[in-house]
Amino acid sequence: MDLKQFEYVLTVMEEKNFSRAAKRLFISQPSLSQYISRLEAQLGFEIFDRSTVPLTLTYEGELYAETAMNVLEMFDNLNRRIRETSQLKAGRLNLGLTPSKASNTLPAILPVFKEKYPGIELNITEATSFQLENMILESKLDLCMMNLPIQSKNIAYEPILTENLFLAAPPDFHSPHEVQPENGGYPTIELKYLSEESFILMHPEQRIRQITDSTFLSAGIRPKVVMETGSIDTALRLSASGAGFSFVPESSARFAGLVKQPKYYSINEGFSWTLVVAYKKNSPGTKLREAFIQTVKSVIEKE
């Protein structure tokens, strides 16, 4: 669409004279007259009644001018909104989170982000890591807060935080094989000593389950799974009630707020997961993406 035709017609309409309109448009009067004549020929009707002094619009010209003003206003609004988006005064972010991030991390990040970028609309989806990866690849989500590993090579990510994973045991559990640390912290126990115990694990498509399954495999044991759940908080509360053992990230253990706490154990060196903000490779929206990532990092660093 050539917006110049609308500008030319509306300028002539306002000035009611080709010569004055040409001066405003910084073109010659013959060039402007020829341009309008060619436009009228293309449209199949006259826009201006040249028999009147000053120039007036024909009935068709009035319809054309009304439409021209509406179109130019729409383009002005579009340009304004694009400028606001580029300045992060407006925009939309489709954000995905795993359940653990929705319950523990998001409540800390959301108020800070909304205060800093009040014009950004946030659409939030909670799903498993497997589902979130597919939604990123299908461009249904702009960003996801999830944990490594990520399966698809078409997903890029920014590491945010690596946190330890702990074993949550029933409060009254005690083993002669547990080792008390010299410098404080949770006692350590090897999984091989828990082969007869009951476990409450996440669903297989969840990242923490994939990590724990790999750990069980390395330990050479097949856990007795009494329940699978999609909620780390549920698993943690069940462990606190004595129903079995579960695996929880450090943040969940710290913010659980349980009256009766489970007994926590460290499993081994490097038993951890890494929180990342993930996005589709070569996707647009770099400025907004960086703003969200920096907000997440600033909040996490204060925790």
Give tens-digit pLDDT for 167-219.
999 999 999 999 988 777 889 999 999 999 999 999 998 888 988 999 999 88
CATH superfamily assigned to domain 91-160+274-302? Periplasmic binding protein-like II (3.40.190.10)
Reported as a pLDDT band with limits 50, 70 and 90, residue 88 is confident
- Asked if residue 177 lies in contact with residue 193, where contact means CB atoms within 8 angstroms, the answer is yes
- Rounded Cα distance between 36 and 240, Å, is 81
Domain range summary for the chain, segments of one domain joined by +: 3-86, 91-160+274-302, 162-273
Q: Which fold has domain 3-86?
A: Arc Repressor Mutant, subunit A (1.10.10)
pLDDT at residue 299 tops 70? yes
pLDDT tens profile 12-35 = 999 999 999 999 999 999 999 999
At residue 86 the predicted structure's pLDDT band, cuts being 50, 70 and 90, is low
CATH of domain 162-273: 3.40.190.10
* pLDDT tens readout for residues 31-68: 999 999 999 999 999 999 999 889 999 999 999 999 99
Mean pLDDT estimate for the chain: 89
Long-range contacts of 183-190 (CB under 8 A, 24+ apart): 185/266, 186/264, 186/265, 186/266, 187/265, 187/266, 188/265, 188/266, 188/267, 188/268, 189/265, 189/266, 189/267, 190/219, 190/267, 190/268
pLDDT tens by residue, 248-271: 988 777 766 677 889 999 987 678
Please give the backbone phi and psi of residue 299, each rounded to the nearest 5 degrees, phi first.
Answer: -70, -45
Q: Would you give the distance in Å from CA 68 to the centre of its chain?
A: 38
**What phi-psi label fits residue 239: left (phi over 0), alpha (psi between -120 and 50 degrees) or beta?**
alpha
Contacts of 286 (CB under 8 A, 6+ apart): none
Intrachain domains 3-86 and 91-160+274-302 with the same fold: no
Q: Which two tokens stand for residue 286?
A: 């770099």
**Per-residue confidence band for 138, with pLDDT thresholds at 50, 70 and 90:** very high
Specify the residue for token string 């330890």. 164
For residues 250 and 166, the answer to whether their CB atoms sit within 8 Å is yes
Confidence bin at 228 (pLDDT 50/70/90): very high
**Residue 197: helix, strand or coil by DSSP?**
coil
Residue 121, pLDDT above cutoff 80: yes
**Mean pLDDT within 129-156:** 91
Q: Indicate the range of 22-26, 220-224, 242-246, 280-284 predicted with least confidence.
A: 280-284
Tell me which long-range contacts 133-141 makes (C-beta under 8 A, separation of at least 24): 133/278, 135/96, 136/96, 136/278, 136/279, 136/280, 137/280, 139/280, 139/283, 140/94, 141/94, 141/95, 141/96
pTM: 0.65
Does the pLDDT of residue 294 top 70, yes or no? Answer: yes
pLDDT computed for residue 76 by the predictor: 80
